[in-house]
């Protein structure tokens, strides 16, 4: 079957993206407004690492159904654009996955998802927005840039690029050589629809042609 995205409904394009690009890591993004108030928590699975020098990552809060910025983008965009210019990314781990998914509920701006879903907001070290205390790993980030692909249009994508300025790892997550123990992290991935996956089924391969 061949598909031309320009002939599909937006909902069909969305379904192909979230069903075909799997599994996706889930960023649990903590943010607040420029005054340090109106704290917010939401999950984003259009998320990945970007580079190690400087240490950077990205996530993608699409425009909402009215073409408006989601609360997270409104909060974490650069100060010059009216945001606080900072955010935290906590890993969505298995013990907190229900609360993480619940934080994706569309609550009015200013309603605190930390409180609403029962996750504790721990103070961050280098940035104003809090982080998820229960998460095994959090990256504190300064917003470097926001790319807007289709401003004002529902479903238009935005890329938030953040530089990692501090890292919190719970005891047992890093080994003595600074490597992350995936069993201790217990990250959950997002599949299509309402699907999620665990990271318990792992295997190793040698680098390059040795993998054949």
Residues of this chain that interact with ligand FMN (CB under 6 A) are 26, 40, 42-46, 60-62, 70-72, 101, 104, 106, 190
Min dist CB 1 to ligand FMN, Å, is 26
Q: Which is nearer to ligand FMN, 42 or 127 (CB)?
A: 42
Q: Which is nearer to ligand FMN, 37 or 172 (CB)?
A: 37
Min dist CB 62 to ligand FMN, Å, is 4
Min dist CB 47 to ligand FMN, Å, is 6
The residues with which 24 forms a beta bridge, in sequence order, are: 190
Burial (CB count within 10 angstroms: exposed 0-12, middle 13-18, buried 19+), residue 27: buried
Q: Which is nearer to ligand FMN, 70 or 168 (CB)?
A: 70
Dihedral of CA atoms 135, 77, 162, 70 in degrees, nearest 10, equals: 50
Q: How far is it, in rounded angstroms, from Cα 99 to Cα 42?
A: 10
Q: Which is nearer to ligand FMN, 114 or 173 (CB)?
A: 114
Min dist CB 123 to ligand FMN, Å, is 20
Cis peptide before 200 (omega within 30 of 0): no
């Amino acid at each position: 079957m061949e598909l031309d995205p320009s002939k599909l409904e937006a909902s069909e394009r969305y379904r192909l993206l979230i069903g075909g690009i799997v599994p996706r890591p889930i960023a649990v993004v903590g943010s607040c407004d420029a005054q340090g108030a109106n704290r917010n928590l939401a999950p984003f699975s259009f998320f990945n690492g970007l580079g190690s020098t400087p240490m950077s990552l990205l996530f993608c809060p699409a425009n909402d159904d009215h073409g408006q910025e989601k609360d997270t983008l409104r909060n974490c965009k650069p100060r010059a654009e009216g945001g606080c210019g900072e955010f935290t990314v906590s890993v969505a781990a298995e013990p907190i996955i229900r609360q993480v998914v619940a934080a994706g509920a569309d609550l009015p701006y200013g309603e605190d998802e930390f409180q609403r879903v029962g996750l504790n907001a721990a103070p961050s070290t280098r940035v104003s927005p809090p982080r998820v205390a229960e998460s095994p790993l959090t990256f504190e980030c300064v917003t470097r840039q926001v790319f807007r692909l289709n401003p004002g249009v529902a479903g238009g994508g935005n890329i938030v690029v953040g530089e990692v300025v501090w890292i919190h790892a719970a005891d047992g997550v890093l080994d003595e050589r600074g490597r992350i123990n995936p069993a201790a992290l217990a990250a959950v991935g997002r599949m299509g629809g309402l699907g999620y996956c665990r990271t318990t089924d792992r295997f190793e391969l040698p680098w390059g042609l040795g993998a054949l």
